[in-house]
């Protein structure tokens, strides 16, 4: 009986409890919008007793709607635009309530200017307008191009929803987003940490999420940093502007700012990599994720700090303005953090090759068959965005092979006159022999196999197996197994960040892979590389150089070439791929044609072949093994 | 014993004063004297004409049919439409709010001068007395600064202000259908808000003939209802 009574009672109460709380106008008193002479607000009138008159009048209002009592803004300012914005942002119309807000906040009309009572004098002076240096003057600087758009109809899509019914965030009667969708001008402190007249509390960007359903955000490390201590290191001193502490609670505003960010498009707080460096400079994220140091201290980097090198989120093969892969030689190369990372979706999850790890989750890519992917499943697909079919790859312009900022480039035998030279997608996916990046190699291993040198797991520089990794005929490897930080966790013992951000090894290699100094003429004598295992640390990661290669387990002349004659692995082998078996693709800056004009490796059988070439002054005429 | 009673009264008075509770009084009609609603000097009229610009005590004989309430004596306006305030945040829109044009509500009495279409000195019953001259009847109109002709640009009136509306719009819940405060200081008329809800036309103490609102903590009476 009692339970039933309770149920009826709850039924009666429930609608009241869930109803949208109406806006209480008297909350305005003593807020920053209370301009009475007796208000506690610093900006206020000299002797006006009435709080409402600064915006409203009961009679003869203009415009009538909301009984407005102020002249309306007339000065045009640039509005927000972005290459990924689906909605169209036009000029404000007379019906847009935002116009009322901007009658103070565009900085052109005095705060004391009223229709009913003329000019009301302010403590700050008669005719006081919001000065350009005031954060409340939204038009100062870049106009409204650096403010969240307003007075427009949002277009729902995969990442944009209409605010749900009952949400404090509301569109106006015509379905348009206005200043008042996010701000309730009569109540300053609904969010006790932020203020700013927000319509609801905004911890973890709850207010933004009423409309923005950014893919991947729910599980992102940037929503919930895996290290709770690092999370809380993001403070006002580190650039947190909301009043909240920590990356988690600052949410979107750890990187974005709805008004007056430094970069208008996509409302980024700082340009490009500077946003990421806010935390990834060792100050907030752990030193294991100090990425800034990589870019700033290493000899070879993905040059994100080169400006203007601009990533655009609209990049795609079909994009007219931002085609990627690039279709014109004249298009400058670019790379930014966001080319490889999706900060909304990144996680700390580990993965096995070829799959993307958490830090590369949700990034667009380019498949091994040349298709645009909205979400890369494999790591190489991200690399292929720029290192495959783009026509502006820098090696094209590197006639001397000296390397333009990335180290000496071997002049490969099969690259001469090859339009697809340096197209890593073609290399790895189409050629005869290849490292297993996009497809497994299926060569026999072990003593007596075709690749007897292959280890059962990649090893650290000290020789210990890397955790959670194995090698087999069917295994894949990552691009980043070779191109990676030379001082990162990827080396097994050190604590630096992983990933090909920067390295002191040419070609952004993780470990050394020595090249021979070219002789004056190809084929002539060169001192080569005097042998030490460290010179080939990279190859030794997966191939047992001293336990197998130098013991001549595959090619019986390996020891003679490498130890005795100081030849380098790279002089004969192309570490990516080759249209000749066994990754043979001679470096033509070292190797030349023989006295008969021939330059060729020919495989004649299992562990059998002939070489026609001249190298270190030594003529090979179909020299067999 | 008497001393005790006196003492208690003093304590009560002091505590009332200290707590800031100050009962507002209805304004006596005499407060109109010398206010801008006291039109005698403007029209060079006799002292006894103070009330007759708006009211008449008797409608003798074949007096023309006029509005009954408040013994009204001023010619009503024939304006057919004043418009209705509207806004997407106005919760009384599409309720019982109607255009005041052609009606005889208490607000129409105000508008009989304030819409500016009927001369201030236009009466059903001519006011007797030589001193009323020399300004001829029906010649002097409301100055434009005091005219309210377009009610779509004014705070809405002539709508029911009840607890439903109050809850929807975050307003004070009215105490009764005859006043917001329950004591008649902020009156409603059959549950409706009208001009006289905010304005007391006799209150010459206020420059805008404001009602004596029970609280005016903000220095503005808007927040009495707009809590």
Task: Check whether residue A225 and residue A77 sit in a common domain.
Answer: no
At A459 the pLDDT is 98
Would you say B202 and B166 are in contact if contact means Cβ atoms under 8 Å apart? Answer: no
Instruction: In whole angstroms, give the CA distance from residue A302 to residue A322.
Output: 20
Residue A173, chain B, CB below 8 Å: the answer is: yes
**pTM to 2 decimals?**
0.88
At A616 the pLDDT is 97
Band of the pLDDT at A21, cuts 50, 70, 90? low
Could you read off the pLDDT of B178-214 as tens digits, one per residue? Answer: 999 999 999 999 999 999 999 999 999 888 999 999 8
Instruction: In whole angstroms, give the CA distance from residue B118 to residue B140.
Output: 9
Residue of chain B nearest A36, judged by CA positions: B219
Closest Cα of chain B to A111: distance in Å?
18
Of B150, B170, B223, which is closest to A29 when you measure between CB atoms?
B223
Would you say A482 and A575 are in contact if contact means Cβ atoms under 8 Å apart? Answer: yes
User: Higher confidence at residue A399 or residue A18?
Assistant: A399
- Residues in B closer than 8 angstroms to A21, CB to CB, are 170
In this structure, how many other beta carbons lie within 10 angstroms of the beta carbon of residue A49? 13
Residue A24, chain B, CB below 8 Å: the answer is: yes
- Residues in B closer than 8 angstroms to A51, CB to CB, are 218-220, 222-223
Would you say A502 and A297 are in contact if contact means Cβ atoms under 8 Å apart? Answer: yes
> Do the domain assignments include residue A602?
no
Please say which residue of A285, A308, A339 terminates a domain.
A285
**A8 has pLDDT over 60:** no
**A368 has pLDDT over 60:** yes
- Residues in B closer than 8 angstroms to A65, CB to CB, are 86-88
Would you say A311 and A318 are in contact if contact means Cβ atoms under 8 Å apart? Answer: no
Residue A59, chain B, CB below 8 Å: the answer is: yes
Q: Which residue has the tokens 């409309």?
A: A211
Q: Are residues A51 and B169, on separate chains, in Cβ contact within 8 Å? A: no
At B191 the pLDDT is 97
Band of the pLDDT at A139, cuts 50, 70, 90? very high
Residues whose CB is less than 8 angstroms from the CB of residue A504 and which lie 6 or more positions away in sequence, other chains included: A298, A299, A300, A486, A487
At A23 the pLDDT is 80
Q: Are residues B198 and A58, on separate chains, in Cβ contact within 8 Å? A: yes
Q: Are residues A66 and B89, on separate chains, in Cβ contact within 8 Å? A: yes
Q: Which residue has the tokens 């949700």?
A: A362
Residue A93, chain B, CB below 8 Å: the answer is: no
Interface with A, mutate which of B85, B88, B169 (most A CBs under 10 A): B88
**Average pLDDT of chain A to the nearest whole number:** 92
Instruction: In whole angstroms, give the CA distance from residue A260 to residue B222.
Output: 34
Task: Check whether residue A125 and residue A234 sit in a common domain.
Answer: no
Task: Check whether residue A58 and residue A148 sit in a common domain.
Answer: yes
At A551 the pLDDT is 96
**A272 has pLDDT over 90:** no
Q: Is the dihedral of CA A578, A581, A586, A592 positive or negative?
A: negative
Task: Check whether residue A185 and residue A245 sit in a common domain.
Answer: no
Instruction: In whole angstroms, give the CA distance from residue A616 to residue A597.
Output: 16
SS3 labels along B48-95: HHCCCCCECCCCCCCCCCCCCHHHECECCCCCCCCCCCCCCCCCCCCC
At B116 the pLDDT is 96
What is the total count of domains within chain A?
A: 3
Residue A67, chain B, CB below 8 Å: the answer is: yes
Mean pLDDT of the A334-340 span? 94
Would you say B76 and B66 are in contact if contact means Cβ atoms under 8 Å apart? Answer: yes
Closest Cα of chain A to B106: distance in Å?
18
Mean pLDDT of the A567-573 span? 98
Q: Are residues B169 and A22, on separate chains, in Cβ contact within 8 Å? A: yes
Q: Which of residues 319-338 of A touch B (CB under 8 A)?
A: none
Residues whose CB is less than 8 angstroms from the CB of residue B21 and which lie 6 or more positions away in sequence, other chains included: none
Token pair of B63 as six digits: 């007096």
Task: Check whether residue A190 and residue A257 sit in a common domain.
Answer: no
Mean pLDDT of the A542-556 span? 96
At A306 the pLDDT is 84
**B129 has pLDDT over 60:** no
Mean pLDDT of the B124-138 span? 60
Alpha helices in A147-286 (DSSP H): 179-182, 228-232, 247-250, 273-277
Would you say A573 and A590 are in contact if contact means Cβ atoms under 8 Å apart? Answer: no
> Do the domain assignments include residue A136?
yes
Could you read off the pLDDT of B93-102 as tens digits, one per residue? Answer: 989 999 999 9
Residue B18: phi and psi, rounded to 5, are -65, -35
Q: Which residue has the tokens 């192309």?
A: A574
User: Higher confidence at residue A26 or residue B136?
Assistant: A26
Closest Cα of chain B to A210: distance in Å?
21
Of A49, A67, A173, which is closest to B220 when you measure between CB atoms?
A49
Task: Check whether residue A188 and residue A226 sit in a common domain.
Answer: no
- Residues in B closer than 8 angstroms to A52, CB to CB, are 220, 222-223
Task: Check whether residue A568 and residue A463 sit in a common domain.
Answer: yes
> Do the domain assignments include residue A362?
no
Band of the pLDDT at A305, cuts 50, 70, 90? confident
Closest Cα of chain B to A130: distance in Å?
24
> Do the domain assignments include residue A342?
no
Interface with B, mutate which of A26, A30, A176 (most B CBs under 10 A): A26
Could you read off the pLDDT of A36-67 as tens digits, one per residue? Answer: 999 999 999 999 999 999 999 999 999 999 99
Band of the pLDDT at A308, cuts 50, 70, 90? low
Band of the pLDDT at A5, cuts 50, 70, 90? very low
Interface with B, mutate which of A25, A33, A66 (most B CBs under 10 A): A25
Residue A58, chain B, CB below 8 Å: the answer is: yes
Range of the domain at A59: 23-155+176-199
Say whether the ipTM exceeds 0.95.
no
> Do the domain assignments include residue A189?
yes
Q: How many residues does chain B have?
A: 227
Lowest mean pLDDT among A368-377, A439-448, B188-197: A439-448
Could you read off the pLDDT of A472-526 as tens digits, one per residue? Answer: 999 999 999 999 999 999 999 878 999 999 999 999 999 999 999 999 999 999 9
Instruction: In whole angstroms, give the CA distance from residue B85 to residue B155.
Output: 7
Please say which residue of A285, A310, A345 terminates a domain.
A285
Band of the pLDDT at A15, cuts 50, 70, 90? very low
Q: Which residues pair with A603 in a beta bridge?
A: A609
Band of the pLDDT at A4, cuts 50, 70, 90? very low
Instruction: In whole angstroms, give the CA distance from residue B18 to residue B38.
Output: 37
Of A22, A29, A36, which is closest to B170 when you measure between CB atoms?
A22
Closest Cα of chain A to B153: distance in Å?
4
Residue of chain B nearest A174, judged by CA positions: B88
**A16 has pLDDT over 60:** no
> Do the domain assignments include residue A211?
no
* % of chain A at pLDDT higher than 90: 84
* % of chain B at pLDDT higher than 70: 78
Task: Check whether residue A189 and residue A87 sit in a common domain.
Answer: yes
Mean pLDDT of the B82-92 span? 93
Task: Check whether residue A149 and residue A243 sit in a common domain.
Answer: no
Could you read off the pLDDT of A221-248 as tens digits, one per residue? Answer: 999 999 999 999 999 999 999 999 999 9
A-B CB pairs within 8 A amount to 74
3-state secondary structure of A617: coil
Task: Check whether residue A40 and residue A109 sit in a common domain.
Answer: yes
At A587 the pLDDT is 97
Would you say A425 and A378 are in contact if contact means Cβ atoms under 8 Å apart? Answer: no
Q: Which residues pair with B210 in a beta bridge?
A: B199
At A19 the pLDDT is 42
Please say which residue of A246, A270, A285 terminates a domain.
A285
Task: Check whether residue A119 and residue A238 sit in a common domain.
Answer: no
Q: Are residues A172 and B167, on separate chains, in Cβ contact within 8 Å? A: no
Residue A177: phi and psi, rounded to 5, are -80, 130
At A13 the pLDDT is 39
Closest Cα of chain B to A47: distance in Å?
11
Would you say A300 and A502 are in contact if contact means Cβ atoms under 8 Å apart? Answer: yes
> Do the domain assignments include residue A571?
yes
């Amino acid at each position: 009986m009692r339970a039933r009574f309770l149920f009826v009672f709850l039924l009666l109460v429930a609608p009241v409890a869930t109803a949208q709380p109406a806006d209480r106008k008297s909350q305005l008193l003593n807020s920053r919008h209370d301009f009475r002479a007796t208000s506690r607000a610093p900006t206020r009138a000299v002797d006006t007793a009435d709080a409402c008159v600064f915006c409203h009048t009961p009679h003869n209002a203009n415009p009538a709607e909301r009984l407005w009592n102020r002249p309306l803004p007339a000065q045009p300012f640039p509005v927000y635009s972005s290459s990924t914005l689906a909605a169209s942002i036009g000029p404000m119309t007379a019906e847009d309530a935002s116009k009322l807000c901007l009658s103070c906040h565009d900085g052109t009309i005095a705060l004391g200017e009223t229709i009913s009572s003329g000019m009301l004098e302010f403590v700050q002076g008669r005719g006081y307008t919001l000065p350009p240096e005031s954060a409340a003057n939204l038009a100062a600087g870049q106009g409204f191009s650096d403010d969240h758009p307003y007075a427009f109809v949002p277009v729902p899509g995969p990442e944009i929803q209409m605010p749900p019914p009952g949400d404090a965030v509301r569109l106006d009667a015509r379905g348009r987003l206005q200043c008042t969708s996010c701000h309730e001008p009569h109540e300053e402190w609904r969010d006790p940490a932020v203020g700013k007249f927000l319509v609801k509390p905004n911890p973890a960007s709850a207010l933004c999420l009423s409309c923005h359903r950014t893919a991947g955000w729910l599980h992102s490390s940037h929503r919930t940093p895996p290290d709770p201590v690092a999370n809380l290191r993001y403070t006002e001193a580190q650039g947190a502007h909301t009043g909240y502490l920590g990356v988690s609670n600052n949410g979107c505003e750890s990187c974005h700012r709805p008004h007056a960010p430094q970069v208008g498009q996509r409302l980024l707080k700082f340009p490009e990599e500077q946003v990421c460096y806010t935390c990834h400079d060792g100050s907030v994220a752990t030193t294991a994720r100090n990425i800034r140091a990589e870019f700033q201290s290493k000899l070879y980097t993905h040059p994100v700090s080169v400006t203007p090198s601009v990533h655009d989120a609209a990049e795609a093969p079909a994009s007219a303005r931002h085609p990627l892969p690039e279709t014109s030689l004249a298009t400058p190369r670019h790379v930014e953090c966001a080319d490889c990372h999706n900060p909304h979706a990144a996680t700390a999850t580990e993965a096995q090759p070829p799959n993307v790890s958490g830090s590369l989750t949700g990034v667009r890519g380019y498949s091994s068959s040349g298709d645009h992917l909205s979400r890369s499943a494999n790591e190489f697909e991200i690399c292929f965005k720029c290192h495959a079919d783009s026509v502006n790859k820098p090696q094209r312009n590197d006639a001397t092979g000296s390397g333009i900022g990335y180290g000496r480039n071997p002049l490969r035998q099969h690259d001469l006159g090859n339009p697809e030279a340096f197209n890593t997608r073609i290399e790895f996916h189409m050629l005869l022999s290849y490292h297993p990046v996009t497809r497994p190699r299926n060569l026999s291993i072990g003593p007596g196999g075709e690749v007897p040198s292959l280890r059962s797991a990649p090893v650290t520089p000290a020789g210990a197996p890397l955790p959670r990794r194995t090698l087999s005929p069917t295994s894949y490897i990552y691009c980043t197994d070779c191109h990676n930080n030379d001082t990162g966790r990827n080396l097994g013992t050190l604590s630096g960040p992983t990933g090909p951000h920067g390295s002191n090894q040419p070609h952004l290699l993780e470990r050394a892979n020595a090249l021979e100094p070219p002789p004056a003429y190809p084929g002539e004598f060169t001192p080569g590389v005097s042998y030490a295992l460290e010179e080939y640390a990279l190859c030794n990661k997966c191939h047992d150089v001293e336990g197998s290669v130098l013991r001549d387990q595959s090619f019986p002349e390996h020891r003679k070439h490498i130890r005795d004659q100081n030849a380098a692995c790279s002089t004969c082998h192309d570490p990516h791929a080759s249209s000749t078996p066994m990754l043979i693709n001679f470096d033509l800056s070292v190797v030349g044609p023989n006295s008969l004009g021939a330059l060729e490796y020919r495989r004649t059988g299992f562990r059998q072949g002939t070489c026609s070439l001249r190298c270190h002054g030594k003529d090979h005429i179909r020299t067999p093994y | 014993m008497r001393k005790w009673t006196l003492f208690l009264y003093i304590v009560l008075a002091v505590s009332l004063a200290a707590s800031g509770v100050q009962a507002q009084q209805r304004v006596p009609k005499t407060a109109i004297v010398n206010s801008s609603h006291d039109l005698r000097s403007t029209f060079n009229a006799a002292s006894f004409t103070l009330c007759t610009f708006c009211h008449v005590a008797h409608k003798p004989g074949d007096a023309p049919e006029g509005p009954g309430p408040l013994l009204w004596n001023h010619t009503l306006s024939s304006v057919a439409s004043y418009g209705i305030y509207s806004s997407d945040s106005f919760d009384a829109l599409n309720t019982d709010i109607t255009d005041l044009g052609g009606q005889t509500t208490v607000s129409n009495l105000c508008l009989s001068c304030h819409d500016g279409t009927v001369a201030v000195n236009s009466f059903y019953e001519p006011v007797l007395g030589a001193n009323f001259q020399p300004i001829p009847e029906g010649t002097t109109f409301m100055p434009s600064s005091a005219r309210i002709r377009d009610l779509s640009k004014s705070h809405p009136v002539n709508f029911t202000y009840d607890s439903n509306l109050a809850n929807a719009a975050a307003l004070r819940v009215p105490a009764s259908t005859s006043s917001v405060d329950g004591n008649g200081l902020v009156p409603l008329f059959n549950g409706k808000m009208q001009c006289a809800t905010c304005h007391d036309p006799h209150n010459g103490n206020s420059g805008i003939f404001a009602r004596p609102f029970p609280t005016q903590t903000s220095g503005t009476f808007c927040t009495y209802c707009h809590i």
